[in-house]
Structure 1
Amino acid sequence: MLGPRQEAQAALFYEFSLNDHVPQDHLLRSIDRFVDLSDIRQYLSEFYSHTGRPSIDPELLIRMLLVGYCFGIRSERRLCEEVHLNLAYRWFCRLDLSDPIPDHSTFSKNRHGRFRESALLRHLFEKTVARCIADGLVSGQRLAADASLIEADANKQNSTPKEDWDRSAIDPTDAPRAVREYLNVLDDAAFGAASEVEPKFTSHSDPSSQWTAARKGPAFFAYSTNYLIDTDHSVIVDIEGTRSIRQAEAGSVRTMLDRIKHRHDLDPERLIADSAYGSGPMPGWLVDRKINPHIPVLDKAGRTDGTWSRVDFERDPENNQYICPEGEPLKQFRRNYSDPNRGPSGKGVAKYQALKHTCQACPSKMQCCPNAEARKITREEHEDARQVARDIAKAKQYAVSMRLRKKVEMLFAHLKRILGLGRLRLRGPCGANDEFLLAATAQNLRKLAKIFPAPQQARKA
């Protein structure tokens, strides 16, 4: 039998509880147990005026942002619409059915103002890391680092080639916010001072972003998000946004290791990374800090033509020389220079060379240097530390570390596919760091919620 037509009947009074309509297994119920914003008002108190119109509760804004980044809602305008309609979002944000939703412009006002001035998002991220440590998810012994490219909100059509780019012509008083931030980070090791090489193109709307073709495809403007994770449960212990070049990414690892030592007293036993971190001073810095570098070393000293490689020469550190298999020395300097400019090049590479007449009369010349008058050997500035990394690569634990390193790649895949952060929405170094921090906070909160889900309650009869 066909039933009656369903029609909405208006009632004078309603008895309605948001808590009863949010499923017990909803992700936000688990996340809510790990979000502690009790100190946020005190943290921001000095950034608010004592007079004027009362502000929107900053805890509400942060909770709404967490909803957006946990569920991949990239637009703040759409976020306001979703919180208005979704009962679970309202419950998490502590909003009743009749409470109004803040306008989307409120987020920009607070982000460019008090949130950024107080480093609130960094504070929120570090509180989440501290909670992960307190719950036993972080041992701090085996850390892994890597970087991933995130496309910037910029395009080539609005850019200038490097031969035509003149930063001195920019008027800071009349420049957009992202351009002013670009001028402020010209001496920052993560951005302008990372390399003396100028990018091929510079964006007008976001000049701090890096023109790169690192994905082996069409070039684009990007920033790099650098993760430092604990491999026990893939918790992100620190994050740093930089230019998308190797020097800046390697430097960010040193910054993050120093910061977690200061903030959380984490002193790792090893650092796991790919070969991009195995060149330059990075291995030496890690060994000096007594951190074992589980990193593939970029080494071009080996030869494939059958002639002697550098490993066939014996190192004599006391006399700063190498001894060839025939017993002849290869020296860096054969006399003391009074002019220091004629000494070491200062470029991180030392060159050792044998005497020309010795090599010409050597019976093993064809096996040593058949196409050169004398044998030369180069030695990296941090070769002792690089040798430590080579020795570690022969151990069984190294193979385990290389498997653990893939956990960073999995986090980047989650960041882009699940959270939707394949392209930045905010511009400038500050905007990029704000997005990276919120996304990493969301990933850690989702990790806590997965490992420690909210207890299920029996349904009411």
Structure 2
Amino acid sequence: MMTKNADSKIFEARNQMAFYALEELVPPNHLLRKIDHHIDFNFIYDLVEDVYCQDNGRPSIDPITLIKIPMIQYLFGIPSMRQTIQEIEVNVAYRWFLGLSLTDTVPHFSTFGKNYKRRFESQSLAEQIFAQILKQCVEAGVVDSKDIFIDGSHVKACANGRKYTNEEVIVQAKWLAEEMMEAVQEDRAIHGKSF
């Protein structure tokens, strides 16, 4: 038997008011919950303190958010940063991970791009951040250094896992930092923006 949603039922569902905590709307086994559990992002504040002015200017985007947004893009295979921002607007799990409520405004792409460029122009800063994130993942046992995938190619790790893991964290952090800067610059070039 085929069931059809009557217009009144659709209207009712779309306009339903309910009280939920954002915490309840994200499944307990969601990947972003696991990342949030294993990685303490607060180290970022100390690393970026020198690139922020403490006593003037407008409030900026939280530096942890500037790192988590590209993580969402890469983890979920979203092809562009512009689309990533659009996905964050409607995805409850992404909002939860970023610490945004359902009513908080998601940073506009141009604001994100400008902040990212200004704060992380020195790739060494981005590399330090990604290296620390990868290190925490390795220490938590959520990254297996025996099998590494670089640009879709499967690479077997060498037998000395500890040494190789430390070297690979540095290589991967540098690659992630370069990819982030390229993605921001490419999207801005496509849409006629320059830094």
- Tell me the TM-score range normalised by the shorter chain: 0.5 to 0.7
1:119-130 → structure 2 map (5 Å cutoff)? 119-130=124-135
* 2:40 alignment partner in structure 1: 36
1:239 pairs with one of 171, 174, 178 = 171
- Rg: which structure is higher? 1
Letter in 2 for 1:434: E
Distance verdict in 2 for CA 1:25–1:63, change over 3 Å: same
1:104 pairs with one of 100, 109, 113 = 109
Structure 1 unaligned residues grouped into runs of 5+? 151-224, 242-429, 439-461
Question: d(CA) in 1 for partners of 2:88 and 2:105?
Answer: 10
Alignment of 1:434 onto 2:163: no
Question: d(CA) in 2 for partners of 1:57 and 1:95?
Answer: 11
Distance verdict in 2 for CA 1:147–1:16, change over 3 Å: closer
For residue 65 of structure 1, report the CA deviation from its aligned partner: 1.2
1:209-224 → structure 2 map (5 Å cutoff)? none
Question: d(CA) in 1 for partners of 2:144 and 2:30?
Answer: 29
Q: What is the TM-score with the length of structure 1 in the denominator? A: 0.31
For residue 125 of structure 1, report the CA deviation from its aligned partner: 2.0
Q: What is the TM-score with the length of structure 2 in the denominator? A: 0.68
Higher helix share: 2
Question: d(CA) in 1 for partners of 2:123 and 2:47?
Answer: 8
* 2:120 alignment partner in structure 1: 115
Structure 2 unaligned residues grouped into runs of 5+? 183-195
Letter in 1 for 2:32: L
Aligned residue for 1:116, secondary structure, equals coil
Question: d(CA) in 2 for partners of 1:42 and 1:228?
Answer: 35
For residue 62 of structure 1, report the CA deviation from its aligned partner: 1.3
1:138 touches 1:230 (CA, 8 Å); kept in 2? no
Cα offsets for 1:44-70 (capped at 9, x unmatched): 121112311111111112111111111
1:26 pairs with one of 15, 25, 30 = 30
* 1:63 alignment partner in structure 2: 68
For residue 14 of structure 1, report the CA deviation from its aligned partner: 3.9
Cα offsets for 1:155-184 (capped at 9, x unmatched): xxxxxxxxxxxxxxxxxxxxxxxxxxxxxx
1:350-361 → structure 2 map (5 Å cutoff)? none
* 1:81 alignment partner in structure 2: 86
Cα offsets for 1:7-40 (capped at 9, x unmatched): 32646x6412111111122111112212321122
Higher strand share: 1
Question: d(CA) in 2 for partners of 1:52 and 1:68?
Answer: 29
For residue 143 of structure 1, report the CA deviation from its aligned partner: 10
2:88 touches 2:95 (CA, 8 Å); kept in 1? yes
Question: d(CA) in 2 for partners of 1:108 and 1:135?
Answer: 31
Aligned residue for 1:100, secondary structure, equals coil
Letter in 1 for 2:71: L
For residue 229 of structure 1, report the CA deviation from its aligned partner: 5.0
Alignment of 1:48 onto 2:52: yes
Cα offsets for 1:219-241 (capped at 9, x unmatched): xxxxxx9x895665996433179
Aligned residue for 2:171, secondary structure, equals strand
For residue 127 of structure 1, report the CA deviation from its aligned partner: 1.0
2:38 touches 2:140 (CA, 8 Å); kept in 1? no
For residue 432 of structure 1, report the CA deviation from its aligned partner: 8.0
Question: d(CA) in 1 for partners of 2:50 and 2:85?
Answer: 27
Aligned length: 171
Question: d(CA) in 2 for partners of 1:45 and 1:84?
Answer: 28
Letter in 1 for 2:170: D
Q: CA RMSD, aligned part only?
A: 4.2
2:127 touches 2:177 (CA, 8 Å); kept in 1? no
2:137 touches 2:143 (CA, 8 Å); kept in 1? yes
For residue 436 of structure 1, report the CA deviation from its aligned partner: 7.2
Report the identity percentage: 31
For residue 117 of structure 1, report the CA deviation from its aligned partner: 2.5
* 1:91 alignment partner in structure 2: 96
